[in-house]
Chain A
Amino acid sequence: QVQLQESGPGLVKPSGTLSLTCAVSGDSISNSYWWNWVRQPPGKGLEWMAEIYHSGNSNYNPSLKSRVSISIDKSKNQFSLKLNSVTAADTAVYYCARRSSSYMDVWGKGTTVTVSS
């Protein structure tokens, strides 16, 4: 079955760049799905961040658009997220997810990122 696995540094310094990768297994990233990033600050709700299609088309949360970028690597069957100028408010569990139609049907287990000096 399809599995998603997030990876990246667990600690990022303030004003730095957060970089995460989501490896997709059991499915081709070139199939007809959108690949998403969703985050969850400690004790809070879910926030949709960005999504990308295998064509390279992407969509972003308007509140993050100036700081976030998403990319896809079809040769490695993975996609990535970069978030610039991070602050403590960006401390969260970051999930990657597959979007089928308009819902997220497959999620990774999540990776915790802490922004601290």
Chain B
Amino acid sequence: QSVLTQPPSVSGAPGQRVTISCAGSTSNIGANYDVHWYQQLPGTAPKLLIYNDNNRPSGVSDRFSGSKSGTSASLAITGLQAEDEAHYFCQSYDNNLSGWRVFGGGTKLTVL
């Protein structure tokens, strides 16, 4: 299983706000390593959505925001739209062993 834990699925109606959690430990998120989020639309490669906890790359809607506290992080999506239906993955760094990059297992967002 993944080092970072995400819920397998979340859902919401258009216009609503949803959050996706990413639970880690003291060797990754809790060690204050940055958390990043990726959006993967069906049949496509992941796309960077949020970097360094709460920053949006150019072109990403401000409906997406990130936060981090303790050993967990969250992605919030407001004003849910049909085009937001996708898989979302969190990513960080883990300092166990020799250190490595770790991903969450992913969360499927369904827009009802």
Contacts and interface: CB of A to CB of B under 8 A. Distances in A.
A99 to B, nearest CB: 8
Contacts of B97: 62
Q: By DSSP majority rule, is chain A's interface helix, strand, loop, or mixed?
A: strand
A45 interface: yes
A59 B48 contact: no
Given A59-B98, A103-B52, A110 B45 contact: yes
A47 interface: yes
The range of chain B's interface size is 20 to 34
B48 A46 contact: no
A95 B36 CA distance: 17
Interface string A37-79: 0100000111110010000000111100000000000000000
Interface in B60-112: 89, 91-93, 97-106
A8 interface: no
The range of chain A's interface size is 20 to 34
A108 interface: yes
Contacts of B103: 38, 45-48
Given A45-B89, A45-B105, A59-B100, A104 B2 contact: no
B2 A45 contact: yes
B51 A103 contact: yes
Interface of A: 36, 38, 44-48, 51, 59-62, 95, 99, 101-105, 107-110
Which 6 residue pairs spanning A and B have beta carbons closest together? A103-B36, A48-B101, A107-B45, A45-B106, A46-B103, A45-B105
